[in-house]
Chain A
Amino acid sequence: MRLLIIEDDREAADYLKKALREAGHMAEVANDGEAGLAIALDESFDVLVVDRMLPKRDGLSLVSELRSRGKETPVLILSALGQVDDRVTGLRAGGDDYLAKPYAFSELLARVEVLARRRAPNSAETVYRVADLELDRLSHQVTRGGEEILLQPREFRLLEYLMRHAGQVVTRTMLLENVWDYHFDPQTNVIDVHVSRLRSKIDKGFAKPLLQTVRGAGYMIRDGAR
């Protein structure tokens, strides 16, 4: 995956570049809004990571400009402002996801990977499959090995989100934002408990566990244990 990091703090940008390379991705760095816009328009990237406050041209105006020129590269906006209304203005300007500073690298990595993959036109899919686990988005039916599994509505949405991003790491914050639509920190390990309940419904009694915990990052559903 090829990324462009537009960030004026050189140390933060270098750290990100290095960490992304270790995760197997290529990253370019631009240090101000104008340079970033020029490179983003000129070359092709899978994801842009854009700091909100940049010299010469701020992050939001960069994203709007990019979108108005028809460039649809997914954008992750980084910002020291993390409140609800900032997030809303960030997404309205054309950003695809919003991450408040300071962040854990694992969180950024998971979001960037989800953003890059999202471009694949699979949103019209009505049935998600991972190994012998099937989720029908229309009939709201979940089966494993042909046997029906009864889920609460929230558990269904949780599983739906995990399966849509099968093979990708999904963080607790991403689950909280996308399944519950909350953007605050619940302080307790509420998500873990929900996931472990879901796991007991879909994995219990089966030889091959599908829902895995990724240490220090989050969860992933995929075919085949590591």
Chain B
Amino acid sequence: MTALGKLFRTTAFKIVAVYLIVFALFAMAVIGYLARHTQALVVSQITEAIDAEVKNLQDVHADAGIGRLIDVVVARAQQPGSNLYMITSFNGATLAANVTDIDNVTLSRQGWSEISYRRTDEAADNLHDSRALVRVVFIGGFRILVGRDIEERERLRQILAAPARWSLVVIVLLGIAGGLFVTRRVMKRIDSMTATSEQIMRGDFGGRLAVTGSGDEFDRLANSLNAMLARIENLMGGLKHVSDNIAHDLKTPLTRLRNRAEEALRPNHTDAELRRALKSTIEESDNLIRTFNALLMISRAEAGEVRKTMTDFDASEIARDVAELYEPVAEESGLTFGIDTPESLPVRGSRELISQALANLVDNAIKHGGTTAGSKVTVAARKSGDRIEFTVGDRGPGIPEADRLRVLERFVRLEESRSRPGAGLGLSLALAVARLHGGDIRLEDNSPGLKVTLAIPAQPGQTKGA
């Protein structure tokens, strides 16, 4: 596509062209109206002047007769820039006149007409063709013509026509120039945006669209696209971080698995030893599968795919159900269990995922909830503003403030818990589930112990969130 062709195709150029046509038509209409109106004014002035003169001549005739009238006309006709006069008798003989070549048709009836004329003092071969507006009246057997040159009107027409033409040309030129300017400006911005996005598509996620700071629509667009890019870069970074983690944290058990199989293959093992090796291989695989499933669940929750399966359910019921599922285990570990929920708490979301997130929190509380006699795990659900808060508290050692954000990351396990089973994904999943619902997770001191709060909006659509 040529540069010009590209220009013509732009929306800005098309809009400018349409405006240009509309504006030119409007300007022409205004000038036309003005011209017509001014001309009408001039003509009415001329007719008024002629009417006054005719009246005056009628008065002279009435007062002093035809002789006097002829004298007056002759005198007036000779003044420079005078009206046009002609007096003839009924048989056509000219008695007084400063014009000639008036055709008989004009003189044969009373009234107005527009005619060509020639002054008597002009040479006969002067072909200068003047136009005049004349009125013919019959006064006592004579025909009297009074007229005025309308050259003035013609001149006015020309005076108006020339600027009208010129202004049209100027409007069109200005319009085209303005259109080109606007279009080029728009195109420059768009081209730079296109260039940046192509650069980003090639893999440079650090690129951002230029913001001029004028706050115009392009800046707004660039700002929101930049925000989107930042989020994508963030997600990509997260993904890279996760795959690094996965590589590290899955390689360890895989290596263990392989070592055990290799060890079992060495000669001189009893059947019982072989069976034991196989059993531990299966256990290790099951752990790996569990880790994989948890990771998949997290990435699904983060991708927001589950959103379409959200339903309305009762948060209180969910908290009670999860608590009921874990209560016997907690009691076997010597923990007492407390549940605190209102009668019902309607909420919209994924029942399965919220249950799982809550189950992870309760499982953590039981595992890390301390072993001192009378230790207690509490599960609560309540409404706080337009949010539903699930709280799981324990009386264990808690988590130092400095580590509270870190433990939400995938595979992060604090030193103290490394010896216990688990992959360090429970809190990450709970966080991903909370974010999927537009909520968040809070870790607080339960003095003593840890209190984890999972808060989600009662109606996710109404609150801004991930």
Task: Please classify how large the interface on chain A is, using the bins under 10, 10 to 19, 20 to 34, 35 or more.
Answer: 20 to 34
- B interface, by DSSP: helix, strand, loop or mixed? helix
Question: Contacting A188 at CB < 8 Å: which of B289, B326, B353, B356?
Answer: B326
**Interface presence of A88 (CB below 8 A):** yes
How far apart are the CA atoms of A125 and B300 in the complex, in Å?
41
How far apart are the CA atoms of A182 and B322 in the complex, in Å?
10
**Interface presence of B422 (CB below 8 A):** yes
Q: With A187-B422, A193-B332 in contact, do A154 and B324 touch (Cβ < 8 Å)? A: yes
How far apart are the CA atoms of A26 and B320 in the complex, in Å?
44
Question: Contacting A190 at CB < 8 Å: which of B325, B422, B426?
Answer: B325
Q: With A84-B309, A84-B350, A193-B328 in contact, do A184 and B356 touch (Cβ < 8 Å)? A: yes
**Interface presence of A42 (CB below 8 A):** no
The interface residues of chain B lying within 8 Å CB-to-CB of A187 are: 290, 359-360, 363, 421-422, 426
**Interface presence of A22 (CB below 8 A):** no
**Interface presence of B329 (CB below 8 A):** yes
Question: Contacting A83 at CB < 8 Å: which of B297, B325, B422?
Answer: B297
Question: Contacting B359 at CB < 8 Å: which of A186, A189, A193?
Answer: A186
**Interface presence of B321 (CB below 8 A):** yes
Q: With A85-B309, A88-B309 in contact, do A189 and B293 touch (Cβ < 8 Å)? A: no
Q: With A83-B297, A85-B308, A187-B422 in contact, do A182 and B352 touch (Cβ < 8 Å)? A: yes
- Contact between A83 and B296 (Cβ–Cβ < 8 Å)? yes
Q: With A84-B353, A85-B306, A154-B324 in contact, do A102 and B289 touch (Cβ < 8 Å)? A: yes
Query: Which of chain B's residues 335-390 have a Cβ closer than 8 Å to chain A?
Result: 350, 352-353, 355-356, 359-360, 363, 366-367
Q: Which residue of B lies closest to A182 (CB)?
A: B355
Q: How many residues of B contact A (CB 8 A)?
A: 32
- Contact between B352 and A183 (Cβ–Cβ < 8 Å)? yes
- Contact between A190 and B329 (Cβ–Cβ < 8 Å)? yes
A133 smallest CB distance to B (angstroms): 21
**Interface presence of B121 (CB below 8 A):** no
How far apart are the CA atoms of A186 and B286 in the complex, in Å?
14
**Interface presence of A10 (CB below 8 A):** no
Q: Which residue of B lies closest to A185 (CB)?
A: B290
The interface residues of chain B lying within 8 Å CB-to-CB of A88 are: 309
The interface residues of chain A lying within 8 Å CB-to-CB of B366 are: 188
Question: Contacting A193 at CB < 8 Å: which of B306, B308, B309, B329?
Answer: B329
- Counting chain A CB atoms within 10 Å of each CB, the highest count among B309, B325, B367 belongs to B325
The interface residues of chain A lying within 8 Å CB-to-CB of B350 are: 84
**Interface presence of A194 (CB below 8 A):** yes
B428 smallest CB distance to A (angstroms): 14
**Mask of A196-213 contacts with B, CB within 8 angstroms, 1/0:** 010000000000000000
The interface residues of chain B lying within 8 Å CB-to-CB of A183 are: 352
- Contact between A190 and B297 (Cβ–Cβ < 8 Å)? no
The interface residues of chain B lying within 8 Å CB-to-CB of A83 are: 296-297, 300, 306
- Contact between B325 and A180 (Cβ–Cβ < 8 Å)? yes
Query: Which of chain B's residues 130-162 have a Cβ closer than 8 Å to chain A?
Result: none
Query: Which of chain B's residues 289-317 have a Cβ closer than 8 Å to chain A?
Result: 289-290, 293, 296-297, 300, 305-306, 308-309
- Contact between A189 and B329 (Cβ–Cβ < 8 Å)? yes
- Contact between B359 and A184 (Cβ–Cβ < 8 Å)? yes
How far apart are the CA atoms of A154 and B350 in the complex, in Å?
22
Query: Which of chain A's residues 14-45 have a Cβ closer than 8 Å to chain B?
Result: none
Q: Which residue of A lies closest to B289 (CB)?
A: A102
Question: Contacting A185 at CB < 8 Å: which of B285, B293, B300?
Answer: B293
- Counting chain B CB atoms within 10 Å of each CB, the highest count among A88, A180, A188, A197 belongs to A188
B224 smallest CB distance to A (angstroms): 30
- Contact between B321 and A184 (Cβ–Cβ < 8 Å)? no
- Contact between B363 and A184 (Cβ–Cβ < 8 Å)? no
How far apart are the CA atoms of A82 and B355 in the complex, in Å?
17
How far apart are the CA atoms of A197 and B356 in the complex, in Å?
23
- Contact between A85 and B363 (Cβ–Cβ < 8 Å)? no
The interface residues of chain A lying within 8 Å CB-to-CB of B286 are: 104
Q: Can you report 14 residue pairs joining A to B where beta carbons are below 8 Å apart?
A: A83-B297, A84-B306, A84-B352, A85-B306, A104-B286, A154-B324, A182-B352, A183-B352, A184-B352, A184-B356, A187-B290, A189-B329, A190-B325, A193-B329
**Chain B residues packing against A (C-beta within 8 Å):** 285-286, 289-290, 293, 296-297, 300, 305-306, 308-309, 321, 324-326, 328-329, 332, 350, 352-353, 355-356, 359-360, 363, 366-367, 421-422, 426
**Chain A residues packing against B (C-beta within 8 Å):** 82-85, 88, 100, 102, 104, 154, 180, 182-190, 193-194, 197
3 nearest CB pairs, A to B: A193-B328, A184-B356, A84-B352
Known: A193-B329, A194-B325, A197-B328. 5 other contacts (CB 8 A): A84-B353, A186-B359, A187-B290, A187-B421, A188-B366
